[in-house]
Structure 1
Amino acid sequence: MKFGFYTLGCKVNLFETQALMQQAQARGHEICTHDADAFIINTCSVTAISDHKNLRAFHKIRRENPHAIIAACGCFAQTEPDKLQASGEIDLICGTSARSEVIALCEEAIQGRFPHDLDKFRCPGRSYEVLPAGVPVGRTRALLKVEDGCDNYCTYCIIPYARGHVRSMPMDTAVSEAIRLSEAGVQEIVVTGIEISSYGRDLPKQPSLLDLIVQLCQAVPHTYIRLGSLEPRTIDENFCQSLAAYQNLRPHFHLSLQSGCDSTLARMKRRYTAAFFAERCEQLRTYFPDCSITTDLIVGFPGETDAEFEQTLQFIQQCQFSDMHVFPYSVRPGTPAASMPMQIPDAEKSARATKAKSIAAQMSADYRSRFIGRTMNVLFEHPVSGSDLWSGHSDFCFPVQAAHPAISKNKQLPVQITGLTESGLSGKICL
Structure 2
Amino acid sequence: MNKKIHIETLGCRLNQIESESVAAFFSDDGFTVAMKSITSKDKEDSDCVLCVVNTCTVTAKAEQKARRIIRLLLKKYPSSIVVVTGCYAQVNKEEISAIDERVVVLPGRVKSRLADVPSIVSSVLIESENNVELIQKKIKEHLESKVLFKPVTDTSENPFKLSTDTFLHHSRSSIKIQDGCNCRCSYCEICIARGKSVSLEVSEVLKQVEKLIAAGQKEIVITTVNIAQYKSEYEGKIVDIAGLLEILLNKTKGVSFRFSSLYPQIVDERLCELIKDERVRPHFHLSVQSGSDEVLLKMNRPYKAQAVIDACNRLKAAKKNPYLACDIIAGFPGERDEDFKATMNLIKECGFTWVHAFPFSPRPNTVAFTMKPKVPEFVTGKRVDELLEYSFESKINYINSLKGTVHKAIVETSHNLNALKIRDGKKVVHAVSDNFLHCVVLIDDGKEIPFAGSEVDVEIVSPLIDEIKRNGEQEVLARLT
**Alignment check: 8 A CA contact 2:296 2:304 kept:** yes
The answer for the alignment partner of 1:426 in structure 2 is: 477
The answer for the alignment partner of 2:414 in structure 1 is: 383
1:223 to 255, 278, 298: 255
Letter in 1 for 2:33: I
2:440 to 389, 394, 401: 401
2:318 to 287, 291, 295: 287
Q: Percent identity?
A: 26
Q: Secondary structure at the match of 1:352?
A: helix
1:172 to 2:172 alignment: no
Q: What's the RMSD between the two structures over aligned residues?
A: 2.4
**Structure 1 residues 368 and 120 mapped into 2: Cα distance closer, same or farther (>3 Å)?**
farther
**Structure 1 residues 363 and 111 mapped into 2: Cα distance closer, same or farther (>3 Å)?**
closer
1:184 to 212, 215, 218: 215
Deviates more, 1:128-137 or 1:14-23: 128-137
For residues 170-202 of structure 1, what are the alpha-carbon distances to aligned partners after superposition, in whole Å with 9 as ceiling and x for unaligned? 111111111111111112111112112211169
Deviates more, 1:375-384 or 1:19-28: 375-384
The answer for the alignment partner of 1:61 in structure 2 is: 73
The answer for the alignment partner of 1:235 in structure 2 is: 267
**Alignment check: 8 A CA contact 2:245 2:274 kept:** no
The answer for the alignment partner of 1:79 in structure 2 is: 91
Letter in 2 for 1:260: G
Determine the C-alpha separation between the residues in 2 that align with 1:11 and 1:185.
Answer: 21
CA drift at 1:213: 1.8
CA drift at 1:417: 2.4
Q: Secondary structure at the match of 2:321?
A: coil
**Structure 1 residues 130 and 171 mapped into 2: Cα distance closer, same or farther (>3 Å)?**
farther
Q: Secondary structure at the match of 2:95?
A: helix
1:10 to 2, 9, 12: 12
**Structure 1 residues 398 and 184 mapped into 2: Cα distance closer, same or farther (>3 Å)?**
same
**Alignment check: 8 A CA contact 2:86 2:111 kept:** no
Determine the C-alpha separation between the residues in 2 that align with 1:88 and 1:146.
Answer: 35
The answer for the alignment partner of 2:392 in structure 1 is: 361
CA drift at 1:255: 0.8
**Alignment check: 8 A CA contact 2:5 2:32 kept:** yes
**Alignment check: 8 A CA contact 1:97 1:121 kept:** no
The answer for the alignment partner of 1:311 in structure 2 is: 342
**Alignment check: 8 A CA contact 1:168 1:202 kept:** no
Q: Secondary structure at the match of 2:106?
A: strand
**Alignment check: 8 A CA contact 1:300 1:344 kept:** yes
Deviates more, 1:108-117 or 1:152-161: 108-117
Determine the C-alpha separation between the residues in 1 that align with 2:227 and 2:85.
Answer: 21
1:270 to 301, 309, 316: 301
Can you give the 5+ residue segments of structure 2 that lack an aligned partner in the other structure?
A: 36-44, 125-137, 419-425, 469-474
Determine the C-alpha separation between the residues in 2 that align with 1:111 and 1:82.
Answer: 17
- TM-score scaled by length of structure 1: 0.92
**Structure 1 residues 40 and 414 mapped into 2: Cα distance closer, same or farther (>3 Å)?**
closer
**Structure 1 residues 51 and 128 mapped into 2: Cα distance closer, same or farther (>3 Å)?**
closer
Q: Secondary structure at the match of 2:216?
A: coil
Deviates more, 1:15-24 or 1:203-212: 203-212
1:414 to 2:430 alignment: no
Letter in 2 for 1:118: L
Letter in 2 for 1:335: T
The answer for the alignment partner of 2:26 in structure 1 is: 24
Letter in 2 for 1:41: V
Q: Secondary structure at the match of 1:37?
A: strand
**Structure 1 residues 304 and 119 mapped into 2: Cα distance closer, same or farther (>3 Å)?**
farther
1:146 to 171, 177, 182: 177
Q: Secondary structure at the match of 1:417?
A: strand
**Structure 1 residues 65 and 234 mapped into 2: Cα distance closer, same or farther (>3 Å)?**
same
Deviates more, 1:119-128 or 1:248-257: 119-128
**Alignment check: 8 A CA contact 1:188 1:226 kept:** yes
**Alignment check: 8 A CA contact 2:49 2:79 kept:** yes
CA drift at 1:32: 4.2
**Structure 1 residues 217 and 366 mapped into 2: Cα distance closer, same or farther (>3 Å)?**
same
- TM-score scaled by length of structure 2: 0.83
The answer for the alignment partner of 1:113 in structure 2 is: 142
**Structure 1 residues 221 and 56 mapped into 2: Cα distance closer, same or farther (>3 Å)?**
same
Determine the C-alpha separation between the residues in 1 that align with 2:378 and 2:299.
Answer: 21
**Alignment check: 8 A CA contact 2:24 2:168 kept:** no
CA drift at 1:96: 1.5
- 1:147-162 aligned within 5 A: 147-162=178-193
CA drift at 1:47: 0.3
**Alignment check: 8 A CA contact 1:15 1:143 kept:** yes
**Structure 1 residues 98 and 370 mapped into 2: Cα distance closer, same or farther (>3 Å)?**
same
CA drift at 1:217: 2.8
**Alignment check: 8 A CA contact 1:264 1:304 kept:** yes
Determine the C-alpha separation between the residues in 1 that align with 2:393 and 2:170.
Answer: 31
The answer for the alignment partner of 2:116 in structure 1 is: 104
**Alignment check: 8 A CA contact 2:49 2:81 kept:** yes
CA drift at 1:279: 0.7
For residues 70-93 of structure 1, what are the alpha-carbon distances to aligned partners after superposition, in whole Å with 9 as ceiling and x for unaligned? 211100000000101221255321
The answer for the alignment partner of 1:214 in structure 2 is: 246
**Alignment check: 8 A CA contact 2:81 2:140 kept:** no
**Structure 1 residues 111 and 248 mapped into 2: Cα distance closer, same or farther (>3 Å)?**
same
Determine the C-alpha separation between the residues in 1 that align with 2:415 and 2:336.
Answer: 44
For residues 220-259 of structure 1, what are the alpha-carbon distances to aligned partners after superposition, in whole Å with 9 as ceiling and x for unaligned? 3211211111111111001111231x32111111111100
The answer for the alignment partner of 2:55 in structure 1 is: 43
The alignment covers a number of residue pairs equal to 429
For residues 3-42 of structure 1, what are the alpha-carbon distances to aligned partners after superposition, in whole Å with 9 as ceiling and x for unaligned? 2211111111111011111112223333247432121111
